[in-house]
Amino acid sequence: MSETLSFNLPEFVNEPFTDFSQPTTAAAMQAALQQVTARFEKEYPITIAGEKIQTGSTFTSYNPAAPEQTLGRFQMADATLAEKAVEAAWAAFPAWAKTPASTRAEYLLKASDLVKARKFEIAAAMVYEVGKSWAEADGDVAEAIDFLEFYAREMLRYSEPQPITPYPGEANEAFYLPLGVGAIIPPWNFPFAILVGMSTAAIVAGNTVVLKPAEESMLMGAIFVEIMEEVGLPAGVLNFITGDGAEVGGVMVNHPLTRFISFTGSKDVGLLISEQAAKRIPGQRWIKRVIAELGGKDATVVDETADLEAAASGIVAAAFGFQGQKCSACSRAIVVESVYDQVLAKVIEKTKALQIGDPTDPLAQVGPVINQESEDKVLRYIGYGHEEGRLVAGGHKLDRPGHFIEPTVFADVAPEARLAQEEVFGPVLAMIKAKDYRHALEIANNTPFGLTGAFYSAREERLQEARDDFFVGNLYLNRKCTGALVGVHPFGGFNLSGTDSKAGGHDYLLNFLQAKSVTRKIG
């Protein structure tokens, strides 16, 4: 494929979401849910430089809605295999770095076609592996398709001649080079979209990577590797390893050949990675880059002029979509006191109307939290909520198999309370009363995080004030604070929410590139 591919591609458009109210698509999803059960109990190898490796020691991925159900068996790698994976990526880097950008982009476009063809299958596997509803899983796969399509086009743009100011007697040019070997450590909550986006952004930029998926969503990583092998990605460009995060991830982060670390996950782990990456290892010839997205304590602000029905709907959707297990989830609703009781009543009503159930059921809106550790943490914060607020909805674990916890709302929470300051990452919402909209903005900004936020108002001057003063990376005016689209809402936050890397934005590939300027004297 030639470097003029960028002129032949249509403009990027987002992948449409599936309408499951249509009988044909509902039937296709039901068939896929049945189809993927054939994969259960299968054992998946580690892949290093194309070699399939079994270690003799495995651990499992299981269904959080039915913990007795094993979805796959994965290899328990050790530090030696992690080091081998980094070295394999390093060996593959020179050839891949010199591969034309158009060729690298073509791999992503072919992968996009395969993901589209397997859309229901991948979404169905995700429903089982992490407990996403049909709509949430479909949106996750659509986002992965968007990343593949968007980053392919972006690399073509970055491979074109870059603008330079002319200067007499010189021929000058500037262009971009890849960095080297990357450690890719994605989360479980967007187990396909973020994994695909993080991996392929680095790969299309000319880097080689070692991918370690989250232990809760290894099947999604295995499916991605299958797709990239099917499109013919050269061996060693994408190396796939599973195992203990501390041991395997520690080698990936600290290896002297690792040039950058791309991480999405908890604040504490992200800060540890940043600290480790800042320390030069003997034999290391560069300053490592860290691209990190670390979560949030996101707020929705509602003033007295807002459409209260729309605001309450946005709060509930953002608080309890995928059980609140999104870094962008609304975990604080800050409402001015004159309409606080009205909004609270609407939030309670809408929360209690949510249907909890096994996510294989198309009617289920709320499923399980991801694992026992998460269940224990959410219940602990519900305990804090009883001390710090007034329980008005939910608050209990369901008496059924799986990690099901009711969507929970606490009213009258103080802005400084743990429930208002610490990330729960579960279906718990703190309702906070403010004196006026400026006081609400002060409360919203008073956390160490700065990822997403929403502001509901009918006053244009207030929306403008929120635009300027609500200190988050992604602010939504008169709509919910979740649901960023690739290319439309470049995603990433301020402060302890990460490095504001803006995934799905026009600057994102610069995280994986370095610029070179060349001057030739003429005349």
Q: Residues with catalytic annotation?
A: 293, 327
Smallest CA-to-CA distance from 40 within 56, 65, 66, 62 is with 62
Smallest CA-to-CA distance from 29 within 363, 360, 463 is with 360
Q: Report d(CA 333, CA 341) in Å as an integer.
A: 12
For 291, list phi and psi in degrees, rounded to 5: -110, 110
Measure Cα distances from 217 to 54, 138, 213, 239, 307 in Å. Answer: 19, 16, 7, 17, 39
For 253, list phi and psi in degrees, rounded to 5: -70, -40
Instruction: Read off the tokens for 452.
Output: 């997403």
Q: Report d(CA 329, CA 14) in Å as an integer.
A: 22
Q: Report d(CA 153, CA 8) in Å as an integer.
A: 11
Smallest CA-to-CA distance from 183 within 285, 98, 257 is with 257
Instruction: Read off the tokens for 42.
Output: 């299968």
Neighbouring residues of 223: CB distance < 8 A, sequence distance ≥ 6: 118, 122, 125, 192
Which is it for the CA torsion 99, 102, 108, 110, positive or negative?
negative
Bridge partners for 433 per DSSP: 335
Q: Are 61 and 30 in contact (CB under 8 A)?
A: no
Q: Tell me the Cα Rg of the chain.
A: 23
β-pair type (58-63, 66-75): antiparallel
Smallest CA-to-CA distance from 419 within 385, 395, 390, 447 is with 385
